[in-house]
Amino acid sequence: MKYYLIAGEASGDLHGANLMKELKAQDPEATFRFWGGDLMEAVGGTLVKHYRDLAFMGFVEVLFNLRTILKNISFCKKDIESFNPDAIIFIDYPGFNLRIAKWAKQQKIATHYYISPQIWAWKENRIKVIKRDVDHMYVILPFEKEFYENKHDFPVHFVGHPLIDEIAQRTQVDPASFKTQHQLDDRPIIALLPGSRKQEISKMLKVMLSVVEDFSEFQFVIAGAPSQDASFYKPFLKKQNVHLLLNKTYDLLSISHAALVTSGTATLETALYKVPQVVCYKGSRISYEIAKRVINLDYISLVNLILDKEAVTELIQTDFTTKRLKEELTNILDDYNRAVLFLDYYDLEQKLGGKGASKKTAQLIIEAL
């Protein structure tokens, strides 16, 4: 079978790569062409466009890059037509993918959506185009199945969360040798996960690094995004007691004592590694004001959304200050608070449904074809 996959972000690249491995295991004749990143490319097939050239964040940024986005959509349609796949697999990235899905449906190409657009958070009216243009939906969050089936009468498959598999299959890191290898000292580590896009990283690190001097008994390590070069982070390493590790996020989390994390998939990754965290987010003022009016959620982190309570503290926009961050970091270093959070993390993992998300999804796609 010929599969065309479209992932527009780092997390999509990770999940896309694992899905491709399972498709190859179950369909030895599988051929791939895809939009994604280095992880998908390593599995095999043809990388058409890298996600680092596709990621535009926020309403204003999308507007400024609209011409590029429209060109990419046009190019993608022609590329799919030339490849003539048996199925297209969309991985999140809804602004782009739903436009391609509409066209693909008209071309009578099977459309499979892995990792649902977050229409339960905003743009719920997208359910109309999903029901019209998506043949098969595979969801990874437990509440999404109820949302689609009970509220919108659209059958979906809950396959569990692929991060559980990704973390379970990784080799355990020895803290002492890891620190020696990366020129870190013996002090406990506070990991900084500032996001993957340049504008996002710059905003987040400015505040995250402002508390470094107040916690000298710890060492701070920035988890560099795979989409960015080391040179981009150089201005942020002028403070003492701040280090950078590129492409080592999971290894870093596995030995970290606490973390400051930009809202997104990273909050869930941090929780699955059982690392106490403070969730942070700050966007452009205009984008934030627009988002505030269209997003109808009590929380922004996946941890709190899945648990349906504020298990981890969220510092959003004007709350994301040096003073508040110092207070909340102090809280998660307290032994009692950590113990409570570990119990919440255990509940979270139970709700996510266990191992096998990529395998289940690959099997369902092949069965459908």
pLDDT tens-digit readout, 186-225: 999 999 999 988 888 999 999 999 999 999 999 999 999 8
Which two tokens mark 332? 């998660």
User: Structurally, how many domains does the chain consist of?
Assistant: 2
Contacts of 253 (CB under 8 A, 6+ apart): 191, 223, 259, 269, 270, 273, 275
Q: Do 30 and 152 lie in a common domain?
A: yes
CATH code of 299's domain? 3.40.50.2000
Q: Do 222 and 104 lie in a common domain?
A: no
Q: Do 263 and 126 lie in a common domain?
A: no
Number of alpha carbons in the 13 Å side-chain half-sphere of residue 253: 24
Q: Do 146 and 242 lie in a common domain?
A: no
Q: Do 201 and 333 lie in a common domain?
A: yes
Q: How confident is the model at residue 54 (pLDDT cuts 50, 70, 90)?
A: confident
Q: Give mean pLDDT, residues 239-254.
A: 95
Q: Give mean pLDDT, residues 276-287.
A: 82
The rounded distance, in Å, linking the Cα atoms of 139 and 156 is: 7
Q: Do 123 and 89 lie in a common domain?
A: yes
pLDDT above 90: residue 347: yes
Q: Do 151 and 285 lie in a common domain?
A: no
Does residue 192 contact residue 208 with C-beta atoms inside 8 Å? yes
Select, from the ranges 159-163, 192-196, 234-238, 275-279, the one with the highest average predicted confidence (pLDDT). Answer: 275-279
The rounded distance, in Å, linking the Cα atoms of 23 and 323 is: 49
Which structural domain range is residue 347 located in? 168-351
For the stretch 319-346, pLDDT in tens is: 999 999 999 999 999 999 999 999 999 9
Q: Do 29 and 175 lie in a common domain?
A: no
Q: Do 138 and 242 lie in a common domain?
A: no
Q: Do 208 and 116 lie in a common domain?
A: no
pTM (predicted TM-score): 0.81
pLDDT at 171: 84
pLDDT at 357: 95
Write the DSSP symbol of residue 137.
Answer: E
pLDDT at 284: 63
Q: Give mean pLDDT, residues 91-116.
A: 96
Q: Do 266 and 300 lie in a common domain?
A: yes
Q: Do 62 and 110 lie in a common domain?
A: yes
For the stretch 135-182, pLDDT in tens is: 999 999 999 999 999 999 999 999 999 999 889 888 889 999 999 999
pLDDT at 33: 98
| Among the listed residues 77, 83, 12, the one whose alpha carbon sits nearest the alpha carbon of residue 50 | 12
pLDDT at 333: 98
